[in-house]
Amino acid sequence: METIALIDTSICSDNLGDEIIMDAVNETIEGLFPSAYIVRVPSHEALSERTRKFVLDASYCFIGGTNLLSSNITPTGLWRLDRAAADAYGSTRTVCLGTGWIDYKPAVAPRTRKLLQTALSGTLTHSVRDTYTKAHLENVGLKVLSTSCPTTWSLTPDHCANFPHSRASAAILTLTAWRADIESDRRIIDLLRRQYRKIYFFPQMQEDYNYFRSFGFDDIKMLGTTLNAYNKFLENEDVDFVGTRLHGGIRALQRRRRALILAVDNRATEIGRDIGLPVLQRTDVRGIESWLEGADQISLRLPEVEIEKWKSQFREVSQDSNGVSPGFLNNASQSPSVGRKIRTLLDRFSQRL
């Protein structure tokens, strides 16, 4: 039986959006490796002796989405990557799955370039969230496809054909405390209060709740603070989503609710540009008003060819490209390190072909 190590961004996370991401990542991995045993490694914590062994003994290691990549990775960043951790990840086939770059940043620092070249597979193709991330990672020297975020992969034409064509009577609002803009956020709240009979606030993070409460709006109802509560509300209520939380908006789209995501950083902006996700800048009040009054059909440009191409490299589970079983390389009971050394040699050999 193969073992898959999954760098799980929802472990040790205070952001429910990470759970939404991992729902899609889990579905993708289970579809590709239905018989594999999956072990989970927290991205927000440094590798321990236990989780390091998980990585070392795995056939593949997947990085499950979110903003883990950066031009200047440090041991205290979102991905706790230092030289020792990079060596561990580099000993197996570590691959990005819809991973993104945090913020608009300059070229990759030399130290970070070396860490990424060590940690990430140089033979397999990586899936990244947007073309902006793709450009950065290609400059590191890796093979990359822009597949969008895996949370969007289910938003097919058939799915989008069943969206409501008119505005709902109620709206779900989200705000982002760590990218607060009091003037712009208040303007959005005032606009929604004029346009909708009822407004509900979904606190995707604890800080979002505290930030929202600071505005003093007592007529806006608070939703439950779990993803399960949010899912049930979307499934049972006729609502639109308008807010700055990207994955809160994508979950609304997954539940066939009209959604307008208000960009506060590069994530929503770049995905919107790439695939037509309904995104406007938070400061674009006229655009927001036009969206609220309109009834445009949602139609996304999913990179289906790129998604399928990325998935296809894992389809031959029984043998890798060198004709050697990954399980043989990783699960040799007498000495797992022997399997890792063989795999490293085979990867180096394949690069020379």
pLDDT by residue, tens only, the chain of 353 residues = 899 999 999 999 999 999 999 999 999 999 999 999 999 999 989 999 999 999 999 999 999 888 899 999 987 788 889 999 999 999 999 999 999 999 999 999 999 999 999 999 999 999 999 999 999 999 999 999 999 999 999 999 999 998 988 899 999 999 999 999 999 999 999 999 999 999 999 999 999 999 999 999 999 999 999 999 999 999 999 999 999 999 999 999 999 999 999 999 999 999 999 999 999 999 999 999 999 988 678 889 999 999 999 999 998 643 444 434 344 344 343 334 444 444 554 454 444 44
In a domain, residue 100? The reply is: yes
Domain with 229, as residue range(s), is 157-293
In a domain, residue 224? The reply is: yes
Number of domains in the chain: 2
Do 145 and 248 belong to one domain? Answer: no
φ and ψ at residue 253, rounded to 5 degrees: -65, -40
Do 146 and 14 belong to one domain? Answer: yes
Do 137 and 272 belong to one domain? Answer: no
Q: Number of H helices and number of E strands within the chain? A: 15, 12
Element of type H or E holding 88: helix 83-90
Task: State the helix-helix crossing angle for 336-352 and 49-56, rounded to 10 degrees.
Answer: 50
Do 9 and 138 belong to one domain? Answer: yes
CATH code at position 220: 3.40.50.2000
Do 39 and 146 belong to one domain? Answer: yes
Do 13 and 88 belong to one domain? Answer: yes
DSSP per-residue string spanning 278-319 = -EEETT-HHHHHHHHH--PPP-----HHHHHHHHHTTS--SS
Q: What is the C-alpha to C-alpha distance for residues 227 and 262, in angstroms, rounded to an integer?
A: 20
